Amino acid sequence: MDYAATVIKQAEIDKYLSGGADFIDDAAIVRALESGKNPDPKRVRDILAKSLSIETLSMDETATLLNVSVPELLREMFSAAAQVKRKVYDNRVVTFAPLYCSNLCANNCAYCGFRSSNTVEKRRMLSAGEVKKEVEILAGKIGHKRLIMVYGEHPSTGADYIAETMQAAYSVKVPVKSGRGEIRRVNINAAPMSVADYKKVKAAGLGTFQVFQETYHRETYAKLHPANTVKGNFRWRLYAQHRAQEAGIDDVAIGALFGLYDWRFEVMGLLSHAHAMEKQFGIGPHTVSFPRIEPACNTPFATRTGHEVSDEDFKPLGCGLRLAIPYAGMIVTCRERPAMIREVIPMCTQRDASSRIGIGAYSDRDGGQETERQQFMLSDSRSLDEVIRELASMGYITSFCTAGYRCGRTGDHIMKMLRSGREGRFCKLNAILTFREWLDDFASPETKRIGDELIAKELSEVKTRMPGEFTDEMWTTLNDYYRRVASGERDLCF
């Protein structure tokens, strides 16, 4: 039996179809985008108001926003997008690091350096021991608390390997100034799995399961993903998040690889995905990613797709997503240049930093970033310390909070909290506590100085937002926890 046939469980697709159709209605997307042309400013402003009340937008509403081109209206959209982010998540930005575990891949995606036909790529899968070495650097030297572990799709790196490497990451405890460096949340970006396999990775302590549809445009999808590969099956991928939710994984993440097809169509595809998840499970995506395609080793297609997203379009694109799915976290990555990240960070909730995407690249400082060991090239190679300093100087507090997951604020429960703006309060308090930890354990003197000033500002802001948003009890607990963290206690959260 060929590999694809051993992986894909047709019944796990069919059960979600409606009259044989999936939730991507190409014709409806094209129609909505067409009828949203030349939007009336009054209608645009009404839609912004709806998004500001943290309601998911309809296809027509989103199509209207995606057609805005008048500079003044665009500025209003950017401002509303930043307000939505602040309302739901306050001014915190969660940071994480990618950990690439294996570049073995049986698929042949035209844009990816890991594709099976790329003979130049140096293949390698990390052993559990090698994963631990990587994590010793990430958690012990840099100070990360969250990882996204990334895997190609290959018979040798299925759910058992993923679970084993996740457990290896969690097992690392490195003594640092106070307490220990450790990973408190492992998310994964991996190929779609069956319900049974999802259960295995959930049992290994999975935080969020992330997979990108790449393109929601079927024809383009078929061109870029050969039919005889697992990834060639559009619907197996389309329902990856549904199966994960069925397996009990509450936090699932969606994304598209921008630059493969028309960006407006892809935003509408992501929105259709969020609608389908909300309809089926009452829970939309935990985060949405909007990566742009980057050059990759021996991969000419990646630099001439014919649908490249310009810098000019990137911000309205992110803004459309932010406003259409207002409760979702949004992730920007080191694929983007620092200047572009600064532009979109007001609407984003997460970013990576000090990222290395070669296999084994954190512990092998010399050879790890060879182009033949990477999936694509990164544009922001700054250290976590530099990134945190920049964020702090822009008024954003870096959060290492992993509490949502561990305190049961996941799934259905967190959706209600996010929509009502109540989660933002916890985000702020936990950001203060985890930022204090990081500043004391890992910061350079200059970053610590700027960080201390920011924390003082944050504490006084909490005080001024009492008793409306923060209760006396929260204030007392915050002060108690803060004192304890500052004197070396670790991992206290709301």
What, of ligand SAM, ligand SF4, none, does residue 211 touch, CB below 5 to 8 Å by kind?
ligand SAM
The yes or no reply on residue 125 touching ligand SAM (CB under 6 A) is no
294 is in the binding site of which of ligand SAM, ligand SF4, none (Cβ under 5 to 8 A by kind)?
ligand SAM
Q: How many CB atoms lie within 10 A of CB 126?
A: 23
Kindly tell me which of 296 and 330 has the beta carbon lying closer to ligand SAM. Answer: 296
Q: How many residues in the shown chain lie near ligand SF4 by CB under 6 A?
A: 9
Q: Of 314, 494, 284, nearest to 409 (Cα)? A: 494
Rounded Cα gap, residues 404 and 307, in angstroms: 37
Minimum distance, C-beta of residue 63 to ligand SAM, in the bound complex (Å) = 24
* Piece in contact with ligand SAM (CB under 6 A), picked from 208-216, 393-401, 434-442, 473-481: 208-216
DSSP code string of 154-185: -GGGSHHHHHHHHHHHHH-EEE-SSSEEE--E
Q: Is 291 in the site for ligand SF4 (CB under 6 A)?
A: no
3-state secondary structure 395-412: CCEEECCCHHHHCCCCHH
Among 23, 89, 96, 111, binds ligand SAM (CB under 6 A): 111
What ranges make up the beta strands (E) of 355-425? 397-399
Residues in the chain: 494
Identify the residue among 89, 114, 400, 442 touching ligand SF4 (CB under 6 A). Answer: 114
Total residues at the site for ligand SAM (CB under 6 A)? 22
The angle that helices 71-89 and 41-52 make with each other, rounded to 10 degrees, is 10
By CB under 6 A, the residues from 179 to 198 that bind ligand SAM are 189-191
Binding mask 400-429 for ligand SAM (x = CB under 6 A): ------------------------------
Q: How far is the CB of 362 from ligand SF4 (least distance, A)?
A: 19
Given a contact cutoff of 8 angstroms between Cβ atoms, the answer to whether 313 and 290 are in contact is no
- Phi and psi at 101, nearest 5°, equal -95, -35
Q: Which of residues 457-476 bind ligand SAM (CB under 6 A)?
A: none
Query: Residue 481: which of ligand SF4, ligand SAM, none does it interact with, CB under 5 to 8 A by kind?
Result: none
Whether residue 289 contacts residue 246, with contact meaning beta carbons closer than 8 Å, is answered with no
Binding ligand SAM (rule: CB under 6 A), the pick from 47, 244, 268, 296 is: 296
Q: How far apart are CA 494 and CA 484, in angstroms?
A: 14
* Number of other CB atoms surrounding residue 111 within 10 Å: 23
Query: Which amino acid does the sequence have at 312?
Result: E
Q: Which of 486, 426, 402, 418 is nearest to 452 (CA)?
A: 486
Q: Which stretch binds ligand SF4 (CB under 6 A): 112-120, 157-165, 199-207, 475-483?
A: 112-120
Distance CA(423)–CA(403), nearest Å, equals 11
Site string for ligand SF4, 216-255 (x = CB under 6 A): ---------------x------------------------
Instruction: Rule CB under 6 A: say whether 257 interacts with ligand SAM.
Output: yes
183-212 in b/e burial notation, b at 16+ Cβ within 10 A? bbbbbbbbbbbbbebbbbbbebbbbbbbbb
Nearer to ligand SF4, 179 or 295 (CB): 295
What are the distances in angstroms from CA 475 to CA 429, 482, 486, 493?
Answer: 9, 10, 16, 13
Binding partner selected for residue 320 from ligand SF4, ligand SAM, none, CB under the kind-specific 5 to 8 Å limit: none
Of 33-41, 103-111, 192-200, 399-407, the segment contacting ligand SF4 by CB under 6 A is 103-111
- Say if CB 431 and CB 90 are below 8 A apart: yes
Residue 166 touching ligand SAM (CB under 6 A): no
Nearer to ligand SAM, 254 or 462 (CB): 254
115 interacts with ligand SF4 by CB under 6 A = yes
d(CA 218, CA 222): 6
Q: How far is the CB of 65 from ligand SAM (least distance, A)?
A: 24
C-alpha distances out from residue 237 to 17, 240, 256, 419, Å = 13, 5, 12, 28
257 binds, among ligand SAM, ligand SF4, none (CB under 5 to 8 A by kind): ligand SAM
Partner in contact with 115, chosen from ligand SAM, ligand SF4, none, beta carbon below 5 to 8 Å by kind: ligand SF4
The residues binding ligand SF4 (CB under 6 A) are 105, 107, 109, 112, 114-115, 152-153, 231
- Residues at the contact surface with ligand SAM, assessed by CB under 6 A: 111-112, 114, 150-153, 189-191, 211-212, 214, 257, 291, 293-294, 296, 302, 335, 375-376
